[in-house]
Amino acid sequence: MSQQRFPAGAADIWLGVPEDVDERGLAVLSSAERNRVRLLRDRAAASYAAAHIGLRRILGGYLGVEAGEVRLGRTLCPECADPAHGPPAVVWPATRLTFNLSRADGFWLLGVSEDRPLGVDLEAEPRIDPELTAPLAFTPRELAHLHGLPPEDRRAAFLRCWTRKEAVVKAVGVGLAADLCRIEVHPDRPGPVEVRYGVAPGPAVWTLEEPDFGPDLHAALARPAGSTGPVRTLRYGQDPLPAATAPAAAPAPR
């Protein structure tokens, strides 16, 4: 098996910025991904393509294979066992790597770890109306915190709360099908914070951290509580792509 070895609980966080994509980049995508690009509008298509090209090149680096050879899929949803919306996974080559991807206004964030789940979320401008959404997704304590702030501070507080919730439900593997009103993420506290939410037999407590990418981007990373390994923050296109530390994987099956 070929992959970068992570210390126990460690994670790499890769930030990608808006960029144009070319035919060489599109060639590494799967046929399903290229079809998705064709169906999306211009800006959304470019955002999706750039994120998935970056995802494949980064994972390929860890795994010691070409970006276009990485096969991606999903595991079963831990709550309903539906394979259509379970956590993302590498189908080939065989690996213990786990990953999670988030996109926001052309930017994207990729978290990679090993042997344990993780979730990431990235937000720029709210895609949804905070005043309408908060009552449907926040706990009473979270709403009280939000409404107790000056109006000019509420946008940042909303995004802190929202990214924390998304990171947790993505780490659990259920996504926004979860009842967000049941998940208390303590937006009044700076990270790291511990959040209780899970689906057995997976972890029930998560540690939430907030990588700093400047005032215009809000990000959150969820790892199982007790994950004390370091978190490296990397920038796609600036930092070198990862290189596998084991022999290259066997050729993909035909």
- The structure tokens listed for 207 are 């540690």
Calpha distance 67→126 (Å, rounded):
32
Peptide bond preceding 201 in cis form (omega within 30 of 0)? yes
**Phi, psi of 189, rounded to the nearest 5 degrees:** -110, 140
Q: What is the pLDDT of residue 251?
A: 57
Q: Among 77, 98, 81, which Cα is nearest to 89's?
A: 98
DSSP class of 239: B
- The structure tokens listed for 152 are 């000019």
Confidence of residue 88 (pLDDT cuts 50, 70, 90): very high
**Rg of the chain in Å (alpha carbons):** 18
Calpha distance 11→205 (Å, rounded):
17
Q: Is 172 helix (H, G, I), strand (E, B) or coil?
A: helix
For the stretch 39-63, pLDDT in tens is 999 899 999 999 999 999 999 999 9
For the stretch 198-236, pLDDT in tens is 999 999 999 999 999 998 999 999 999 998 899 999 999
Q: Among 213, 217, 218, which Cα is nearest to 238's?
A: 213
Average of per-residue pLDDT values in the chain:
91
For the stretch 168-201, pLDDT in tens is 999 999 988 889 999 999 999 998 999 999 999 9
Calpha distance 253→245 (Å, rounded):
22
Judging by beta carbons within 10 Å of its beta carbon (0-12, 13-18, 19+), is residue 82 exposed, middle or buried?
A: exposed
Calpha distance 13→79 (Å, rounded):
27
Mean pLDDT of 68-81: 92
CB 127: neighbour CB atoms within 10 A? 10
pTM of the complete model: 0.93
